[in-house]
Structure 1
Amino acid sequence: MLQNVVPSRRNFLVGLGKFAAVAPLVPSLPWAATALAATPRDACPPPSAWKDLAAQVSGGVLTPLDPFFGDVCRPNNLRYGTLPMGIARCLKTEDVQAAIRWVKQQGLPFRVRSGGHNYAGYSATNGLLIDMSLMAGVEVLDKKNGIVRVKGGTINSLVYKELERLGRTITHGRCDAVGAAGFLLGGGIGFNMRRYGVASDLLRSTSLVTADGERHEADDKQDSGLYWACRGGAGGNFGINTDFTLQTFPVDTVSVCQLTWTKDQAGVVYDLLQRLPAAPDSFGSKINITLPSIQQRCQGVGSNVSILAQLHKTKGTSLKQIFGPLWERADKRTVHEDIPYWVAQDFLSEETFPYYYQEKSSYMHSARITRAAVDAMFEAAKAMPGTSMPVAFKFFQTGGVINDVKPDATAYVHRGYDWLFSVEMNWWQTSDPQGLIDENLAWQKDFYALANKTCSAIGAYQNFPDPTLDDWAGAYYGANYTRLREVKKQVDPDSFFNYGQGIKPI
């Protein structure tokens, strides 16, 4: 039994053999019960190999009998709750390099995780999980110009806390538990994106360890191709990013609101989709059409349309003016005007819990969204079989300065659009029978196809990975995919970093 070297934490490296002792863990990890059959126990490295790894990784190695194992390896999407053989907890770059050397020596599959929110489970593995969560923190590099360095395992909540202390902000999401690495590498959307660009537009440099175990500093002058690829090329493709240098912006007061409509819902959504793109770049919004669970239907709960919105101080403009007649038509309005920026984020933020889900996304131009198309979506929504959880289709407002950047200037190709559309499906495995889940996933697929066809939507957001996409490379990266493959060939010609929708070398 080897004691972990992390100070004040007693994590133990035990049960190494053939994982004969994994079974007692399963009752406390019901989401992982189906993963045991897929775990290659006969291929497990010998205890001496795990001992070697533990000696090289500052945060130690966790195995299934460790008391903290379930907390560390549990993903946000329980659909992909694969049990790893072990978890290497990295505290510094040298730990990452050691983990890469070790999996090469052992020929073991591996994945890298910061926050565990990969929608398609690409941060889960039945081999070694390289956990970055201990490599967390934010360092101020240039206070005057607002340049900060974010470590590779930092989650959003810590980024927000540090930026609040600085009186600064970036383009950020709403979920506290998302890993900053995955968020930044795939683009990164949020209420500030129309004003500052997607989060990857704010990336000034990044450090990463590539397949050869070497550390690279990538910016617009050195390793510029790799730097280009890291701004939208998605995580897990080119190496393990150990830190990110970002441009931040000073905060002031903002106005925020949530409006809800229950009547003429299709008309409201159509009017929002047509009206809001004309708002100033200082405005950001997300439209949500919530469809009730089976239980809620039985209680008489129907669908509703709601919007969350934020407006930075803009002379001569208010939230009420931006919404126009839609403001008075709302059944409910919650409004906070001219409040401190980070107080406003508490209103806008959401806390997510692990459950089962799938999301499908695409990009839309408001000019191509007709009233008939919106009516068709609402009509199709009535046919949703339903699960024990509510679901939704959503419109994240894009545009603004995002569209001032050329599609090939960074790997994030999705420029020139007004809306990022998505439709989610949520369920709870123990409450919803598999047949019902399959029916709902089939409905989701048909609904997505209908929305894309009627609204001439294209593409998909790489931070909402969808394993059912036929042409994921074209959807995520468009014309930039060829250049991404060239970068991949330069830094990882043998596809050491690979997953179901990983970029392939040219």
Structure 2
Amino acid sequence: MNTCNFNGLTGRVVTPDDPCYHVLRQVYNRAVQKFPLAIVYCQNQEDVSNAVLWSRRNHVCLRIRNGGHNYEGYSTGDDILDIDLSEMNQLAIDENAHLLYVQGGVTNKQLYEFVSSKGYPFPGGTCPSVGVGGYALGGGFGLSCRYFGLGCDNLLEIRMVNYEGRIVNANSQENSDLFWACRGAGGGNFGVIISMTFRLPQKVNKVTLIDIRYPHADQEKQASFLLTWQDWLKDADQRVTLISRIYNDLLEGLAIIARGIFYGPPEVAFGIIAPLLELGGVKYSLKYVTFLEAVTIIGDFYPPFERFKSASRFAVRDFSSCESFNIAGLIKERAEGSVYASISFYALGGRVAEVDVDETAFFYRDAHFIVWLDTVFEDNRCNNAAWVADKFCYLKSVTNGSYVNFPYACLPCYLEEYYGTHVCRLKKVKEKYDPLNIFTFPQGIGEFYNMDFTASNCCNLSW
């Protein structure tokens, strides 16, 4: 590991000789094992500016971390300076202007507890420890997105530390090109986002928490559910957003689950989800609870950390019966050493599809849903990367593009997969606001990393 003089860094600096270093360097996905040169916990914009300038003076690459949930670990690295924003977690509401002010290190849990205390919901993410910044800047799917739009659709302004350590504001009038890019491609590419202003939704008293389960669902039933799901979603009330999942668990075997939120009472929710309850053997519940109770119950399903490998796609057309059966078959056998494998379907449409494709950097407005393949394991020696690469080949043949918030290291032509026809425009924004490519990471927009990966050579990489 490199040695460096850390003079010039302000905030709380953690180095490898710190007794807490090995705990603090860990990110959510324990399959990622990286050893940064130092972690600087910034408490204000001066700390962030000093960190950027220090990294340049010392020729040390930097990464940006708030929740530490990048699935491929791109918010950390070996021998880099990790700028951690988790201690910049202040929130404020302007109820008269319907605005929510969020610092760059705020998590979903912190945001939900704050807005709910004032009677408001928010279109945030599902996992409580995910950083709101990374979530929204990459697009921002959540269980309110069909009703309120994606996280990035509710973003009104950002405040960023640039490559010179200076503050840059961006909104629809000021630095509008940067603001456009940061709504779908902003995570770590252009600078350090230290605060965000969001549109505040109208107050909501209660919502219906939906939970649908089919235990012991074989491949045929899983395929039938997928066909039913895609037909149901076409005309589903936009007040409901669900995540459906077919999975293979070490203890449960093959099964199906769907969870989500409906902005309305249970009796109305039942009529809306009725087609999803007709396969036989279903167990379901509809709970009329506060918004905070709903997101807390959903969040409690997430463990404090996992070891996993995953890949994502967008479903832009209907799957045929044969394709649905083949998709279900992808998880019929888990990788050796895996305790869990699943394919999840994240509902889009509604308000997401109402935004023009070129209005933000998020490209896949017309997609029906996100498809996410993952495998969970307990030992890092398990060869799950090869399993995912094999299954991904079929998924790629029946889908389009990938969701940048669910990255996959082995994507060929990753920029086009993440951003579609927005790539050229994003490169121009990158060249304008980060001309020295200071903010770099694997699969970033900077030219240095603009190379093709193939499944065959990527599976030997250790992320």
1:62 deviation in Å? 1.3
Residues 309, 388 of structure 2: 8 Å contact kept: no
Q: Could you tell me which residue of structure 2 aligns to residue 24 of structure 1?
A: none
Tell me, yes or no, if structure 1 residue 270 matches structure 2 residue 227. yes
Q: Would the alpha carbon gap of residues 267 and 95 (structure 1) be closer, same or farther in structure 2, given more than 3 Å must change?
A: same
Q: List per-residue Cα deviations over 1:325-379 (Å, max 9, x = no partner).
A: 54254535342343222222222223333232221111113x5211111111223
The alignment status of 1:467 with 2:419, answered yes or no, reads no
- 3-state SS of 2:416 partner: helix
**C-alpha displacement at 1:236, in angstroms?**
0.9
Task: Kindly indicate whether residue 259 of structure 2 is the aligned counterpart of residue 308 of structure 1.
Answer: yes
Say whether residues 1:504 and 2:446 are aligned partners: yes
Gap change, CA 1:145 and 1:80, over 3 Å in 2: same
Q: 1:333 to 1:205 in 2, by over 3 A?
A: same
Relative to its length, the structure with more helix (as a share) is 1
Q: Residues 191-206 of structure 1: matches in 2 within 5 Å? A: 191-206=143-158
Give the drift of 1:189.
0.7
* Aligned match of 1:8: none
Provide the C-alpha distance between the structure 1 equivalents of 2:127 and 2:144, rounded to a whole number of angstroms: 14
Displacement of 1:317 after TM fit?
6.9
Give deviations 1:361-398, integer Å, cap 9, x for gaps.
11113x52111111112234334334242121110001
1:411 aligns to 2:361 (yes or no): yes
Mark the CA change 1:386 to 1:256 in structure 2 (over 3 Å): closer, same or farther.
farther
Partner of 2:387: 443
Residue 297 of structure 2: aligned partner: 347
Number of aligned residues? 441
| Deviation of 1:441 (Å) | 2.8
Alignment match, 1:422:
372
TM-score when normalising by structure 1: 0.83
In 1, Cα distance between equivalents of 2:55 and 2:371: 39
Determine the structure 2 residue equivalent to 1:104: 56
* Separation in 2, partners of 1:332, 1:71: 42
Deviations 1:16-69 (A, max 9, x none): xxxxxxxxxxxxxxxxxxxxxxxx33xx11xxx32x234xx1x32111232332
Alpha-carbon offset, residue 287 of structure 1:
0.7
- Corresponding position of 1:457: 399
Inter-partner Cα distance in structure 2 for 1:330 and 1:136: 46
Query: For the residues of structure 1 that align with 2:48 and 2:399, how far apart are their CA atoms?
Result: 40
Q: CA deviation at 1:305?
A: 0.8
Distance 2:112 2:254 in 1: 33
Identify which of structures 1 and 2 has the higher relative contact order when contacts are C-alpha pairs closer than 8 Å and 6+ apart.
2
Instruction: Within 5 Å, give how 1:457-496 maps onto structure 2.
Output: 457-496=399-438
Q: CA deviation at 1:465?
A: 1.2
C-alpha distance in 2 between matches for 1:351 and 1:382: 23
- Once residues 236 and 360 of structure 2 are traced to their aligned partners in structure 1, the CA distance between those partners, rounded to angstroms, is 26
Distance 1:480 1:317, change over 3 A: farther
Q: Deviations over 1:166-194 (max 9, x none)?
A: 21122111111111111111011111101
Q: Displacement, 1:90?
A: 0.7
Give the 3-state SS of the residue equivalent to 1:246 in structure 2: strand
Q: Determine the C-alpha separation between the residues in 2 that align with 1:385 and 1:504.
A: 34
Cα RMSD (Å): 1.9
Q: Distance in 2 between matches of 1:483 and 1:459?
A: 18
Q: How far off its partner does 1:280 sit?
A: 0.9
Structure 1: distance between partners of 2:313 and 2:267: 30
My pick for the range that moved more, 334-343 or 167-176, is 334-343
Which residue pairs with 1:390 in the alignment? Answer: 340
Q: Residue 128 in 1 paired to residue 72 in 2?
A: no
Equivalent position of 1:93 in the other structure? 45
Distance 2:147 2:49 in 1: 38
1:158 and 2:110 aligned: yes
| 2:175 pairs with 1:175 | no
Q: Distance in 2 between matches of 1:106 and 1:459?
A: 37
Structure 1 stretch displaced more, 466-475 or 80-89: 80-89
- Deviation of 1:240 after TM superposition, in Å, equals 0.2
CA distance in 1 between partners of 2:240 and 2:195 (Å): 30
SS at structure 2 position matched to 1:343 = helix
Distance 1:347 1:134 in 2: 25
Q: Work out the CA distance in 2 between the residues paired with 1:504 and 1:101.
A: 19
* CA drift at 1:279: 0.9
In 2: Cα distance, 1:187 partner to 1:385 partner: 30
- 1:481-500 Cα deviation digits (max 9, x unpaired): 11111111111112111111
SS in 2 for 1:119: coil
- TM-score scaled to structure 2, two decimals? 0.91
Alignment pair present for 1:223 and 2:165:
no
Contact 2:334-2:341 at 8 Å conserved across structures: no
What does 1:214-293 correspond to in 2, within 5 Å? 214-249=166-201, 250-261=203-214, 262-263=216-217, 264-293=221-250
For the Cα contact (< 8 Å) 1:259–1:330, is it kept in 2? Answer: no
Describe how 1:14-25 pairs up with structure 2 within 5 A.
none
Q: Is the 8 A contact 1:120 1:466 kept in 2?
A: yes
SS in 1 for 2:147: helix
Code of the aligned partner of 1:242: I
> Which residues of structure 1 form unaligned runs of 5+?
1-39
| 1:397-450 Cα deviation digits (max 9, x unpaired) | 0111111111110011110111100101222226xxx3xx33x43332232222
CA contact (8 A) 1:137 1:159 kept: no
Q: Which amino acid aligns with 2:328?
A: F
Aligned equivalents of 1:332, 1:220: Cα separation in 2: 47
2:351 to 371, 396, 401: 401
Displacement after TM superposition at 1:252 (Å): 2.7
**Structure 2 counterpart of 1:186, which letter?**
G
Amino acid at match of 1:286: I
Secondary structure, in 3 states, of the residue corresponding to 2:31? Answer: helix
Provide closer, same or farther for how the CA distance between residues 372 and 247 of structure 1 changes in structure 2, counting only shifts above 3 A: same
Tell me the SS of whatever aligns to 1:310. strand
**Displacement after TM superposition at 1:200 (Å):** 0.5
* Aligned residue type for 2:34: T
Aligned partners of 1:153 and 1:335: how far apart in 2?
Answer: 34
Quick check: 2:206–2:291 contact (8 Å CA) kept in 1?
A: yes
Deviation at 1:120, TM superposition (A): 1.1
**Structure 1 CA distance, aligned partners of 2:395 and 2:422?**
25
Q: Shift of the alpha carbon at 1:319? A: 2.6
**Aligned-partner Cα distance in 1 for 2:338–2:405:** 26
